[in-house]
Amino acid sequence: MFRCNECGEEFDAPEYYIEYHGDASAPGERWAVCPRCGDTDFEEIIYGGGPDDDL
Position 36, amino acid: R
Cβ–Cβ under 8 Å, residues 17 and 50: no
pLDDT at 2 over 60: yes
Which DSSP symbol is given to 13?
Answer: S
How confident is the model over 27-42, as a mean pLDDT? 94
Q: Given its phi and psi angles, is residue 25 left (phi above 0), alpha (psi -120 to 50 degrees) or beta? A: alpha
pTM (2 d.p.): 0.72
Looking at residue 33, its pLDDT comes to: 97
Looking at residue 42, its pLDDT comes to: 97
